């Protein structure tokens, strides 16, 4: 297992009905991925994650098993990590919003009234992947500069890490071939 540092995020699977519904929703909007949840490491064995009862800070060993960590794919400075740790903790208690899933789906189908865009961009409520994106944004890192804040699913984060993983593999192969 990769040892996370503050600011690293993990993607996980969710079993049961909730995981199946998230997977189906992600598939319908083109974000099919083997993950349904995101969380961010804040240090001292703790993570912050958005949950239906609100964002919470819990021990990593009580969270879903990580499928992949962002550690080796998104380089962060120690100052960014420190800021992300504080911003993550500041979001504990932020309400969850199932309506954000519907809004993200509407955006995929290009149905996006202004009031819906403003609702999603309001960081007063968020789903797990939005929490990760918001923490990075507050630390000055735009993971998805082509989108409005909040238009992020766990599948989007999965695609981002896979793109970075493939690029890293390609660089390694090039070094081996030209080395």
Q: Is residue 20 in a domain?
A: yes
Number of folded domains that form the chain: 1
Q: Is residue 4 in a domain?
A: no
- 8 Å CB contact between 178 and 49: no
Q: Is residue 2 in a domain?
A: no
Q: Is residue 3 in a domain?
A: no
Cβ burial, residue 119 (10 Å; 0-12/13-18/19+): middle
Higher pLDDT, 155 or 59: 59
Task: Tell me what percent of the chain is helix, strand and coil, each rounded to the nearest 5.
Answer: 45, 15, 40
Domain boundaries, position 167: 9-178
Q: What is the CATH number of the domain that holds 135?
A: 3.90.1720
Strands 66-69 and 56-59: unpaired
pLDDT, tens digit (0-9, with 9 covering 90-100), for 52-62 = 899 999 999 99
Higher pLDDT, 63 or 23: 63
DSSP class of residue 103? H
**pLDDT in the model for residue 66:** 93
Per-residue pLDDT band at 25 (split at 50, 70, 90): low
Q: Is residue 113 in a domain?
A: yes
- On the question of pLDDT at 15 being above 80, the answer is no
Q: Is residue 1 in a domain?
A: no
The pTM for the full model equals 0.82
pLDDT, tens digit (0-9, with 9 covering 90-100), for 88-141 = 999 999 998 777 777 777 776 777 677 766 766 666 788 899 999 999 999 999
- On the question of pLDDT at 173 being above 70, the answer is no
**pLDDT in the model for residue 42:** 98
Cβ burial, residue 146 (10 Å; 0-12/13-18/19+): exposed
């Amino acid at each position: 297992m990769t040892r996370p540092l503050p600011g690293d995020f993990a993607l996980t699977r969710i079993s049961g009905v909730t995981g199946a519904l998230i997977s189906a929703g992600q598939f319908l909007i083109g974000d099919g991925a083997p993950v349904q949840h995101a969380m961010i490491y804040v240090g001292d064995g703790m993570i912050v994650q958005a949950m239906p009862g609100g964002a919470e800070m819990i021990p990593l060993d009580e969270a879903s098993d990580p499928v992949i960590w962002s550690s080796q794919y998104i380089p962060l400075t120690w100052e960014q990590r420190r800021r992300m740790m504080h911003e993550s903790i500041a979001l504990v208690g932020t309400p969850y919003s199932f309506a954000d899933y519907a809004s993200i789906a509407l955006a995929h189908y290009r149905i996006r009234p202004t009031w819906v865009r403003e609702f999603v961009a309001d960081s007063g409520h968020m789903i797990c992947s939005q929490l990760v994106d918001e923490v990075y944004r507050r630390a000055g890192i735009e993971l998805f500069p082509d989108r409005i804040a909040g238009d992020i699913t766990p599948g989007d984060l999965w695609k981002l890490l896979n793109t970075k993983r493939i690029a890293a593999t390609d660089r390694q192969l090039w070094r081996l071939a030209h080395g």
